[in-house]
Amino acid sequence: MKEYQIVIITAIISFIIYLILWVIKDIITYTHPSKLSKIIIRFINDPRDPVEIRLIINQFLRYDDWKRITAKDRLERMFKNKMKNIEKEKAERWKQIKAVTFCISLKDMIYALKRALSNSFKEEIKGSDDKEFLISKTYLEDALKKINKKELEKELKSYSTIYNNHEKARLWILKDEKIPLGIKGNISDYKQELTSQELAVITSLWEPKIDFEATWNKEQALKRFLNEYPPRSWTDEELNEMFDKIILFLDYPHEKTKNKMFSQLAIGLSNYKTSSDELLELLNEINRKLDKKEFNKIRARLNNMM
């Protein structure tokens, strides 16, 4: 191949490459920005650091072309993935809480407290291995020293009064996370009878809830302890609405709080330890400031403008 032919071929290839780049830059970016954005983000990993996420938020706010759409698509993907992770975290937390929740009849508790008070907690703590106790033996011995006998007597009197009117009454107990167990596995699987000392510690330190008519199941009992119901999965429609509200507040932020909100969103979408709490707090704050009826009106108006 002659030299002039090589030059011509090189020029043609360069022109074709330039033409492709020009088509992408000046035609596709304006005629099909959404499609271009979806293609681009397939090859981009989502950042985990708040600083990098803040750059994407800035990109969304700064531009009004395909770069803005790309930033929005990336934020939406990060948001929905984060919410799915929060769902898993909540489900796992609920599972762990249920595993340390149990109930005992009020009658049995009254009997145990009377027995514990009658011998001033001097009944021998049997067993050489912590696995033989629901509560860690070491913790149990220390906790018994801290029990206020007069307060426990008041508790016993109160339980006795309740029992006279509600013989079926039960006590639901949610173990404090800081209190070590002497067993492995779920409390609900523990089949041994609790000692009077253990029950004295439980009623003194764990703040049981009284089920007067013995009608609660575990989830109903946990509602009283935690003021929340079992976690559920968000629908796609709910996630879309939540993200639309975030976008609305990005576009029209409150001047006094916008920097805090932008930082909170960046942390909420990151892999920081407190990220889930930050994102849920941000969503709650947005919902407080924007009721559903007002939001639907704004969203409809914006959709008509697009």
Average pLDDT over residues 281-293: 81
List pLDDT tens digits, range 161-181. 999 999 999 999 887 776 666
How high is the pLDDT of residue 132? 53
Residues 6 or more apart whose Cβ sits within 8 Å of residue 179: 135, 136, 139, 205, 206
Average pLDDT over residues 246-250: 90
Residues 195, 174, 202, 168, CA torsion sign: negative
Average pLDDT, the chain: 80
Most confident of 37-46, 117-126, 222-231: 222-231
**Helix, strand, coil: what percent of the chain each, to 5?**
65, 5, 30
Angular region, 285: left φ>0, alpha ψ -120 to 50, beta rest: alpha
Q: DSSP strand E in 73-224: where?
A: 101-105, 170-174, 209-211
How high is the pLDDT of residue 44? 85
How high is the pLDDT of residue 14? 78
How far apart are the C-alpha atoms of 67 and 75, rounded to whole Å? 12
Please check whether residue 180 is in contact with residue 136, taking contact to mean a CB–CB distance below 8 angstroms.
yes
Average pLDDT over residues 74-79: 95
How far apart are the C-alpha atoms of 278 and 284, rounded to whole Å? 10
List pLDDT tens digits, range 189-244. 555 667 777 788 877 777 899 999 999 998 899 888 888 788 889 999 999 999 99
